[in-house]
Structure 1
Amino acid sequence: MKTTAAAPVRGRSLWDDALIRLKRNRAATLSLGFLVAMALACIIGPLLTGHGYDQVYRSYVKVGPSLTPYPRAETVAPAARRALRRARVEVGEDIVIGDGIVRIPVSSEGELDQRIVRYIDRGDIFSGARLEDLAADGRSAVIVADIEQLTFLFGTDATGRDLLTRTLIAGRISMTIGLLATVVAIVIGVTYGSLSGYLGGRADLLMMRIVDVLYSLPFIFFVILLVVFFGRNFVLMFIAVGAVEWLDMARIVRGQTLTLKRQEFVQAAEALGVENIGILRRHIIPNLTGPVVIYMTLLVPKVILLESFLSFLGLGVQEPMTSWGVLISEGARDIEGNPTMLLFPALFLTSTLFALNFIGDGLRDALDPKDR
């Protein structure tokens, strides 16, 4: 009688076990989903709002958030009168509004100049103005114009720009700076720290003293020096933040490397004649992945906060581009007149930071070898 061999049992790797533990952490998984949704909203959202991030609506400065489109029906007639104030015409009392069109009766002591419709089209409320029902003597007519329907879900800022679009664009800048600066900090910190810890001796002493000297430089002083040489731009933020934050990573990696290089598998590789670069690349750095990934999730919110702080001081992203720090700075100046200018950017920033911190806590628990 033939017996079928049982299928080999496939074991779980440490990474598979960590992934299962991470999925069980509801706060971390929800935060990861929220972060993905936030990134997609910042990438795709500005294309769907119907407003440019630098488009100015002079007729809608500091308007509040609303689900219904502007202008309000009660503001159309006063806006038409204000627009024709310099046209030297008499505006009738019976302004008719309906079906997205306004009809404004006008009259003049002399013959009407047909160019008066330009006064109507100058603002953001009306468009396509034209003269109709012109009298035989040319002294009276009706100006007909389309009413532009504009929706501002988050309202507008102090210059009349859509706050929703600018908040989403600011998210692009803040998260991009956070990710890029974090990648730079990790690449430099992991390379520097692992090399220092593995070489040891005088090399380690010299490399760590260099880190101590860089630690002693005030961050703001370092940023001001970069502003003098590079100016205020996106590259400055990338260089300034990334070139400073690698110091913590280097210290963390050095401490882990000092522990790893005493392990049996590293000593075996040394006994087999593997070069130092090969040991670092194959044995030391791969075993540092857990702490590095955890620190990366905690470094991204720190970098975003640093960028917001620098932009708040006026040393970061410059107009017309924006970031969450810039928007919070503008909202803080106008908090009494329009608190929503501060509320929405601050809400986006704090929710993103909370999500990143929850993900970091989840990864720390999932990758902790003492908690398996």
Structure 2
Amino acid sequence: MSDITQEIGTAPERGRSLWDDARDRLLANKAAVGSMIVLAVITFLSVVGPMLSPHEFDTVYRDYVRVPASLEAYPRAEQVQPAFEKLAQRARFNIDSYERNGDVVVVKVSSRRAINPKSTRYFDRSDIFKNAQLLDMSEDKKSATLQADINYLHFYFGTDANGRDMMTRTFIAGRVSLTIGLLATAVAIFIGVLYGATSGYLGGRIDQMMMRVVDILYSLPFIFFVIMLVVFFGRNFVLMFIAVGAVEWLDMARIVRGQTLTIKRQEYVQAAEAMGVSDGGIVRRHIIPNTLGPVVVYMTLLVPKVILLESFLSFLGLGVQEPMTSWGVLISEGARNLQGAAWMLIFPSIFLTSTLFALNFIGDGLRDALDPKDR
């Protein structure tokens, strides 16, 4: 009797939803999980990296133009004395003796006329020295001891043709490219899902008319359309790629329309119609939620497509412009300087290709996880 009571009092086990099964299948896909980790690392570096970097993305170091990537700090030991002599010549100093004590350079200088204390700004404006000061000035002010600290800088990804830190610019470029990809994709998904679901559910002449609008937009030359956007919106990449997202929704609309034509024949949709639910309510509550599987998969494929599109437009000079940058802009600059500065192309290309591969692997994993035939 007690066993029967215990069995009656036992709570029923909670069933597993289809989303739980899809999540487990996705996590079992090693390529998709590894890609999510890679994408998370790249996103973290793009967001936090510029804040932690000692260099601003638009700071120009005139003494470090196109220096190679290195873990060792600049300047090199053999660069210090020639750089100091060059600055002393600009300040019209004669070097009587040169001595280096660790990170401090101590030089006895002289001049034919009185030394101006403001001459130290020639050294402070340099990227190699800092905290320059004149000591032990003679009574006639024609000789003194000039002391300056060596300003060590790290350029782990090297510098570009203008002397800007490539690591910071690569991180900033990732922030811009990922933002553009997500922004344009969000616009495309919103318009495409709403348009396709409405067209497929209403059907008939309305469906035919709405799809003919899509066909007309498909026939427009894309590059010509982008040039018109640049003319109307200028160089504001946010507005331009919102408009680009408003063009990329065409594929999404067709995908959702095809799904909707199948879903609207299901029993639960017919039951909602019999209960008097409005067309807008059926589309919002039943049609759109049941198309989320293909939509999520297509979104992971659309983001790299938009990033590549942005890279292509920036390569042509129609996208992001200086001093702001993106992976496309950096790759364009790197291609022009490939022969003498290969690092300018290597690092942005690694970040871009890693992001594209990660998004495509994630899309494949989601496609397999959400495939109803595998449930």
Quickly name the TM-score band, shorter chain normalised: over 0.9
Contact kept, 8 Å, 2:68 with 2:158, in 1: the verdict is yes
* Alpha-carbon shift at residue 337 of structure 1 (Å): 1.3
Please name the residue that 1:285 is paired with.
288
Give 1:222-371 correspondences, 5 Å limit.
222-371=225-374
Q: Which amino acid aligns with 1:131?
A: L
- The separation in 2 between residues aligned to 1:243 and 1:286, in whole angstroms, is 22
Report how far residue 41 of structure 1 moved. Answer: 1.0
**Residue 87 of structure 1 aligns with which residue?**
91
Q: Give, in whole Å, the separation in 2 of the partners of 1:226 and 1:123.
A: 43
* d(CA) in 2 for partners of 1:358, 1:22: 11
1:163 maps to 166
- Partners of 2:116 and 2:13 lie apart in 1 by 90
> Identity percentage over the alignment?
67
- State the SS of the aligned residue for 1:318: coil
Listed one character per residue, the Cα deviations across residues 122-163 of structure 1 (whole Å, up to 9, x for unaligned) are 211111111123334432222101111110100111111110
2:75 alignment partner, one of 71, 74, 84:
71
Q: For the Cα contact (< 8 Å) 1:237–1:307, is it kept in 2? A: no
Aligned equivalents of 2:199 and 2:225: distance in 1? 24
Q: Distance in 1 between matches of 2:164 and 2:51?
A: 15
The alpha carbon displacement at 1:175 in A equals 0.3
One-letter code aligned to 1:2: S
Aligned to 2:141: 138
Q: Paired residue for 2:64, among 60, 72, 76?
A: 60
For 2:78, give the aligned amino acid.
E
Q: Distance in 2 between matches of 1:39 and 1:177?
A: 13
CA distance in 2, matches of 1:274, 1:37: 46
Q: Is the 8 A contact 2:172 2:326 kept in 1?
A: yes
Q: Is the 8 A contact 1:182 1:296 kept in 2?
A: yes
Provide, for residues 302-350 of structure 1, a one-character-per-residue CA deviation record: whole Å limited to 9, x for no partner: 0111011111111111111110001111111111110100110011000
| 1:108 aligned onto 2:111 | yes
TM-score of the superposed pair, with normalisation by structure 1: 0.97
C-alpha separation in 2, matches of 1:7 and 1:317: 59
Post-superposition offset of 1:83: 1.0
Shift of 1:265: 1.7
Q: Does 1:147 align with 2:150?
A: yes
Counterpart among 2, 11, 15 of residue 11 in structure 1: 15
Amino acid at match of 1:171: G
* TM-score of the aligned structures, taking structure 2 as reference length: 0.96
Q: Is the 8 A contact 1:222 1:240 kept in 2?
A: no
Whether 1:2 and 2:6 are equivalent positions in the alignment is no
Q: Helix, strand or coil: the match of 1:85?
A: helix
Match of 1:117 among 95, 116, 120: 120
Contact 1:177 1:237 survives alignment (8 Å)? no
Q: Counterparts of 1:215 and 1:162 in 2: how far apart (Å)?
A: 41
What amino acid maps onto 2:359 in structure 1? L
Aligned to 2:45: 41
Are the aligned partners of 1:69 and 1:152 in contact in 2 as well (CA < 8 Å)?
Answer: yes
CA RMSD of aligned residues (A): 1.2
Contact 2:135 2:144 in 1 (8 A): yes
2:184 counterpart residue number: 181
Name the stretch that deviates more: 138-147 or 324-333: 138-147
For residue 81 of structure 2, what is the amino acid of its counterpart? A
Structure 1 distance, partners of 2:298, 2:127, is: 49
Q: In structure 1, list runs of 5 or more residues that go unmatched.
A: none
Residue 369 of structure 1 aligns with an amino acid whose one-letter code is P
Work out whether residues 233 and 318 of structure 1, in 8 Å CA contact, stay in contact via their aligned partners in 2: no
